[in-house]
Amino acid sequence: MSVQTTKRRLSPASIEALKGERPIVSLTAYTTPIARLLDPHVDFLLVGDSLGMVLYGLDTTVGVTLEMMIAHGQAVMRGSERCCVVVDLPFGAYQESKEQAFRSAARILKETGCSAVKLEGGAEMAETVEFLVSRGIPVLGHVGLMPQLVNTTGGYRSVGRNEKEVAKIRRDAKAIDDAGAFAIVVEGTVEPVAREITATLRAPTIGIGASPACDGQILVSDDMLGLFNDFKPRFVKHFAELAPTISKAAEAYANEVKARTFPGIEHTFQVKR
């Protein structure tokens, strides 16, 4: 009898256990090649619905479909082997009811092989989070700035700048924590509030535009790599400047094709005599 062994991935439980041990490292990924490059360096990869804007040129994440998330989740799973992979539930795939959320989440887990799903929402989604977790679906929460609500909040802006917003963030974070999320993304939240809820929650917080005190950090990989130069949010740091490099490479390629210096004979297949 043969025994086949596979490498063990980091699990949602192992991510949760990192709170208080060391900072959690995360980035987004949408394709197999990028997942392969990022996998050795991160604790979890998020297949975010930000792919709608990053890859498809949409103005918001609202137009992203469940089928899009599954296709890109499959691609990231093929390109990774050690990190935990989390896939976003897109707008309209979970808000209607906890049963709808379960069907969508179960489909993502079954069709991609990923370890968990992420959903946006605070107290109003706590019952759904608890429903999923109790039925074997690990959930990454998301509070603070919620991009899927852009049409009702009036745009992308930091939150927690008045007492009403602070009270809501506290209430939302506690509700999702109590519901059993293994970690919670805190986005676009003023630093003192993000720091405060990090200290009070059981689950680790993953900051993006939040606080250095968060238990971990996440960035959109394309932002981190400097692939976008039109707009740079305050919370983004370019760890590389790949956009100019890619543009220069494309220019050099175009020039060589026009000058007929590429391809050379060494780039062609010859008939063996």
What are the residue numbers of the active site? Answer: 187
Q: Are 189 and 169 in contact (CB under 8 A)?
A: yes
Beta strand pairing call for 84-88 and 183-187: unpaired
Residue 92's alpha-carbon distances to 64, 76, 127, 173, in angstroms, are 9, 23, 17, 22
For tokens 């079954």, the residue is 110
Q: CA-CA distance, 40 to 220, in Å (whole number)? A: 17
Q: CA-CA distance, 132 to 180, in Å (whole number)? A: 9
Count of CB atoms situated within 10 Å of the CB of 271: 4
Interacting residues of 92 by C-beta distance below 8 A, sequence separation 6+: none
As a dihedral over the C-alpha atoms of residue 75, residue 77, residue 81, residue 85, rounded to 10 degrees, the angle is: 130
DSSP string, 157-173: --B-SSHHHHHHHHHHH
Q: CA-CA distance, 171 to 175, in Å (whole number)? A: 6
* Residue of 219, 166, 168, 218 whose CA lies nearest to 195: 166
Q: Are 176 and 143 in contact (CB under 8 A)?
A: yes
Q: CA-CA distance, 13 to 133, in Å (whole number)? A: 12
